[in-house]
Amino acid sequence: MNDYLASLDRALSKLPEIKGTGERFVPPEPKLLTEGKTTVLENFSAIADKLNRDPEHVFKFLLRELGTAGKREGNRAIFQGKFSSSVFFQLIDAYIKDYVTCSECGRPDTHLVKVDRFLAMRCDACGAHRPVSKQHAAVHLVKEAALKEGETYEVRIEAVGSKGDGIAKKDKYTIYVPGTVKGDIVKIKIKKITGNLAFSEFLEKK
């Protein structure tokens, strides 16, 4: 819960201050529900409305950044895999930076227009326009939340693999931890990451 509040604070502090009025552009909080192996963003439509963007554009952005598949169902969006609210906060924040706020005046009163094959943002407040860059902050933010080689983590061994190594799960990663058994809560050091697989060294049992 503290992590959640800390990342909420961070996400909010990164939102642009709108000069003059002291008004902040605050998107609705993502309301998440885990259903089996999927994550349901219950208020997806409300978020897209508040962002004043085409829901399909917001949805495709989320899919791409989460690196997963999903579908829209009524006002909800359903994503394969389990994702935390802090990930959604970061992605919505990145979306706002890339596709909603004007880089000149910082106001959210903008709209997207297609110029040839490219998207451009036009600001209704100051008249500025700029190409929308595909190189946005979100990828970086999500990667920050990912495992890192050489870092230590505390994980719970959820299963044992065919070669007898303990297996833990964290975010999208399956982590192999030699020398552990199911149910152990252990401190590990990540040695190597290959795609969604991570190999680790067992440091100590908790």
DSSP strand pairing (166-170 vs 152-160): antiparallel
Binding to Zn ion by residue 128, rule CB under 5 A?
Answer: yes
Give the nearer residue to Zn ion in terms of CB position, either 97 or 156.
97
3-state secondary structure of 126: coil
CB of 92 to Zn ion, least distance (A): 20
Q: Which of 5, 91, 77 is nearest to 35 (CA)?
A: 77
- Which position among 123, 142, 157, 188 is part of the footprint of Zn ion (CB under 5 A)? 123
* Gap between the Cα atoms of 158 and 53, Å rounded: 41
Stretch that binds Zn ion, among 20-28, 120-128, 133-141, 168-176 (CB under 5 A): 120-128
- Which position among 40, 91, 105, 142 is part of the footprint of Zn ion (CB under 5 A)? 105
Binding to Zn ion by residue 92, rule CB under 5 A?
Answer: no
- Which position among 66, 92, 102, 168 is part of the footprint of Zn ion (CB under 5 A)? 102
Kindly give, in sequence order, each residue whose CB lies less than 8 Å from that of residue 122, ignoring residues fewer than 6 positions away.
110, 111, 112, 113, 128, 129
Enumerate binding residues for Zn ion (CB under 5 A). 102, 104-105, 123, 125-126, 128
